[in-house]
Amino acid sequence: MMSSGTFMDLVQHEFMVRGSWRKLNRVRLSRSWCVSYILIVAAAVVIVTTYLAARNDLELSSFWYMTLAFPYWIFFLGYGAVKREWSNDTYGWWLTLPIPRFRLIAAKWLGNCLKVWIAMIAIYIALSAYVLILTSAIDHYTYDMAVSFMITGINWLTVVAGLTPFIIAAGMLTISVMYSTAKPLTPLLWILFMGGFSIVYSNMNEYLLPEGRLETAGPATFFPFPWELPAIIIGSWAVAYGLIRAVTYVMDKKLDL
């Protein structure tokens, strides 16, 4: 039986991976160069947005609109977590670890969920701090607008965080099926999951994020969504468990090695 320490070691391992070894071998960038690129991009964003804010051309809500791609990023994070084992030719080692297959996959799933939640917290803190600095430095941005911005961010990111377990599991199932004897089902899964995201987004103004709920000019309230949304989020956790079980079944019975 696997100990809890072994399980958490596998979860922690997901934070240590660096992508495909083949791609890393093509272009070798040191950690300092990667950090430098990130800082340059961040500085450019701050300079541009501060300039727009000084001209009163910056809508604070635009920061949250930029995060609308999060669900797609989360899907491909789960997708890439499994694909990486094949890209690095480590799937044999990974699948033959003396650990129950379900827990092996659950550790990968949990590790990537934690990645998303930590990233969301960091992004929320960074954006909130930046907006508070703007409101203290530029007259036409008020403290009430900053508070409304922060509440809106909590509302939106809470929804995405709640759906993260399902989205990660969906990405893992899609790539797992592609490496199995059920590969012909892969296009159907792409249509199902990506089509589902598109449908949700097309109705977002009417359901998840109505237009007024991303505006920061007026007061915002905590979690102004209908009661069905918490039920959907909780239901998605049960579906996520089912998807992880499906990934386990594919890895146990249907792999095309």
What are the tens digits of pLDDT across the range 28-84? 556 677 778 888 888 888 888 888 777 777 788 788 888 888 999 999 999 999 999
The predicted structure's pLDDT at residue 216: 44
Query: How far apart (Å, rounded) are the C-alpha atoms in residues 45 and 126?
Result: 13
The percentage of the chain sitting over the pLDDT mark of 90, rounded to a whole number, equals 35
- Give the predicted TM-score (pTM) of the model: 0.85
Question: How does pLDDT run across 178-219, given as a tens digit for each residue?
Answer: 998 888 899 999 999 988 888 777 666 555 554 444 544 456
Contacts of 249 (CB under 8 A, 6+ apart): none
Q: Give the contacts of 135 (CB within 8 A, at least 6 positions apart).
A: 141, 142, 143, 145, 146
Q: Of 121, 122, 95, 89, which Cα lies nearest the Cα of 108?
A: 95
- Cα–Cα nearest to 248, from 199, 152, 177, 189: 177
CA distance 6 to 28: 32
Q: What are phi and psi of 228, to 5 degrees?
A: -65, -30
Which residues, in sequence order, are bridge partners of residue 180?
255
Sign of CA dihedral 237, 242, 243, 248: positive
How far apart are alpha carbons 114 and 120 in whole angstroms? 10
Written as six digits, the tokens of 102 are 């379900």
**Average pLDDT of 125-145?**
88
Q: What's residue 19's pLDDT?
A: 58
pLDDT exceeding 70 applies to what percent of the chain?
Answer: 84
How far, in Å, CA of 148 to CA of 135, rounded?
A: 12
Q: Does pLDDT of 236 surpass 80? A: yes
Average pLDDT over residues 159-176: 95
State the average pLDDT over residues 158-170.
95
The tokens describing 238, both together, are 């049960």
Helices and strands, counts by H and E, the chain: 10, 0
Spatial separation of the C-alpha atoms in residues 83 and 77, rounded to whole Å: 10
Calpha distance 9→4 (Å, rounded): 9
